[in-house]
């Protein structure tokens, strides 16, 4: 029976089902009995004010209560983040427009989203035309230039861009003069030139789905400042990284994390967004790894057609090989979604280097100490030793190092 504190009304003592009878995950019968009492206990405002009992609020609030048995509901059945592939044809033809990469039906969400926390879109702007993009309450917006040259006007000012550039915007509030009418955080884009498909293309990612889920709006104080990452500097910085690590071994990863002065501890693009520019050399593979964030991977350059791909799967075997993998073939300018916790490895069977730029909600996970990135080599060592690491932060973490690039200043790195 339910525990009742001393002095509680005897009418509240109700028999809950025994644990053997708890076959349903929700105790609606128990809740119904409590609500039924509350409904009959409403005895008017005078009694409510005098004793605190029989208040109308108790009855109304009690109707919303649900109680679950722990072991059957601690890991609730939810819709999974799907593996999705969005081809480059979505931004290579047609009029100026925004193309949301929407998986809300799969995620069972009432608003557009590519992952539970993020929405990615392609933005196509015909040469000589303008197009607005807008959100109401994202804390972070990312724009990566897939193709073309142009400029974007924001409440924080105007900047010019070209292929390979990336810029991020915080929530800019409503005090500054709007630059267009497409929702409150509007950005006006103009394509000046594109010699390939007659229109510029941007990869646009923001965290408005997270805020819609929480039912909140950002603070009026900017969490970070608008920031530009020029494409030529990013590529030069990757090229400056030695192909060998400090032990003389060939690096499994050759890429750069994009940070911000406002995120000195997490070393992420913004407080919620994380991004990496990574190159995969000819005839190379990158070992399986996994993390709890969702990756929205943009294939910046897919190398030799049909020769570069990612394998994704739920588990590894004892040899560190992904079990029953799904294959996502890269297409230049296309996006594929890597679900959280799935092992994935990148492979280039061609003779031309490939580039990928994942965008993740890992800023949030890193701050929470729950990113839990793991590599297959480390997991295999644990398997052989018969142990399992439970902590989300490894015992050995990266030492504090200065950024390879701070503003326009590049520093030496191995």
Residue with tokens 């964030």: 293
Which range (90-99, 114-123, 201-210, 399-408) has the least confidence? 399-408
User: Is residue 329 predicted with pLDDT exceeding 70?
Assistant: yes
User: Is residue 17 predicted with pLDDT exceeding 70?
Assistant: no
How far is residue 2's CA from residue 213's CA, in Å, rounded to a whole number?
A: 34
User: Is residue 405 predicted with pLDDT exceeding 90?
Assistant: no
Residue with tokens 């105790």: 27
Q: Render 341-378 in DSSP notation, one character per residue.
A: T-EEEEEE-SSS-EEEEEEESHHHHHHTT----EEHHH
321-348 burial: b if 16+ Cβ within 10 Å, else e: ebeebeebebbbbbbbbbbbebbbbbbb
pLDDT at residue 9 in the model: 37
Which band of pLDDT confidence, cut at 50, 70 and 90, is reported for residue 386?
confident
Which band of pLDDT confidence, cut at 50, 70 and 90, is reported for residue 33?
low
User: Is residue 411 predicted with pLDDT exceeding 60?
Assistant: no
Evaluate whether 397 touches 364 at the Cβ level (below 8 Å): no
How far is residue 243's CA from residue 353's CA, in Å, rounded to a whole number?
A: 13
User: Do you know the residue count of the chain?
Assistant: 414
pLDDT at residue 150 in the model: 98
Q: Which two tokens stand for residue 339?
A: 């679900």
Which band of pLDDT confidence, cut at 50, 70 and 90, is reported for residue 20?
very low
Per-residue pLDDT of 40-99, as tens digits, reads 444 456 667 666 566 777 888 888 999 999 999 999 999 999 999 999 999 999 999 999
How far is residue 118's CA from residue 274's CA, in Å, rounded to a whole number?
A: 12
How far is residue 159's CA from residue 405's CA, in Å, rounded to a whole number?
A: 20
Per-residue pLDDT of 233-270, as tens digits, reads 999 999 999 887 777 777 767 899 999 999 999 999 99
Percent of the chain at pLDDT above 70?
Answer: 81
Which band of pLDDT confidence, cut at 50, 70 and 90, is reported for residue 385?
confident
pLDDT at residue 275 in the model: 98
Neighbouring-strand partners of residue 338: 295
pLDDT at residue 190 in the model: 98
Q: Render 244-286 in DSSP notation, one character per residue.
A: B-TTSPBPS--EEE---GGGTTTT-SSSS-EEEEEEE-TTEEE
More confident residue, 17 or 124: 124
pLDDT at residue 404 in the model: 67
pLDDT at residue 253 in the model: 74
Which range (53-57, 168-172, 303-307) has the least confidence? 53-57
User: Is residue 185 predicted with pLDDT exceeding 70?
Assistant: yes
What's the mean pLDDT in 346-371?
96
Strands 149-154 vs 157-162: parallel, antiparallel or unpaired: antiparallel
Which band of pLDDT confidence, cut at 50, 70 and 90, is reported for residue 382?
confident
User: Is residue 29 predicted with pLDDT exceeding 70?
Assistant: no
- Supply the mean pLDDT for the chain: 86
Strands 130-133 vs 187-193: parallel, antiparallel or unpaired: antiparallel
Residues 6+ away with beta carbon under 8 Å from 393: 369
What's the mean pLDDT in 191-205?
97
What's the mean pLDDT in 344-354?
96
pTM: 0.85
């Amino acid at each position: 029976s339910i525990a009742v504190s001393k002095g509680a009304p005897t009418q509240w003592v109700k028999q809950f089902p025994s644990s053997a009878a708890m076959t349903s995950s929700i105790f609606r019968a128990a809740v119904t009995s409590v609500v039924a009492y509350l409904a009959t206990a409403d005895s008017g405002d005078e009694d409510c004010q005098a004793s605190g009992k029989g208040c109308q609020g108790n009855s109304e609030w009690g109707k919303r209560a649900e109680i679950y048995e722990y072991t059957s509901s601690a890991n609730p059945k939810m819709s999974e983040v799907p593996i999705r592939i969005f081809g480059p044809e979505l931004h290579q033809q047609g009029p100026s427009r925004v193309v949301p990469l929407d998986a809300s039906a799969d995620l069972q969400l009432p608003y557009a989203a590519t992952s539970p926390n993020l929405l990615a879109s392609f933005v196509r702007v015909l040469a000589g035309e303008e197009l607005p993009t807008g959100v109401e309450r994202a804390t972070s917006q990312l724009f990566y230039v897939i193709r073309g040259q142009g400029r974007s006007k924001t409440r924080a000012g105007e900047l010019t861009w070209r292929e390979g550039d990336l810029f991020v915007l915080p929530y800019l509030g409503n005090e500054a003069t709007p630059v267009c009418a497409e929702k409150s955080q509007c950005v006006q884009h103009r394509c000046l030139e594109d010699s390939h498909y007659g229109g510029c293309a941007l990869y646009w990612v923001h965290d408005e789905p997270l805020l819609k889920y929480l039912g909140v709006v950002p603070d009026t104080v900017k969490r970070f400042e608008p920031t530009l990452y020029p494409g030529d500097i990013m590529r030069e910085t990757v090229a400056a990284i030695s192909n060998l690590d400090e032990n003389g071994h060939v690096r499994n990863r050759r890429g750069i994390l994009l940070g911000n002065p406002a995120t000195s501890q997490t070393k992420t693009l913004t407080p919620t967004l994380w991004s990496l520019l990574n190159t995969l050399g000819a005839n190379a593979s990158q070992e399986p790894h996994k993390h709890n964030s969702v990756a929205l991977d943009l294939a910046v350059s897919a190398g030799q057609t049909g020769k570069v791909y990612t394998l994704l799967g739920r588990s590894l075997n004892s040899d560190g090989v992904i079990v029953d993998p799904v294959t996502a073939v890269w297409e230049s300018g296309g996006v594929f979604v890597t679900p959280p916790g799935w092992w994935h490895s990148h492979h280039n069977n061609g003779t031309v280097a490939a580039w990928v730029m994942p965008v993740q909600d890992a800023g949030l996970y890193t701050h929470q100490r729950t990113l839990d990135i793991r590599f297959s080599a480390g997991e295999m060592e644990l398997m052989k030793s018969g142990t399992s690491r439970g902590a989300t932060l490894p015992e050995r973490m990266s030492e504090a190092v200065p950024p390879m690039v701070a503003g326009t200043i590049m520093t030496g790195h191995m």
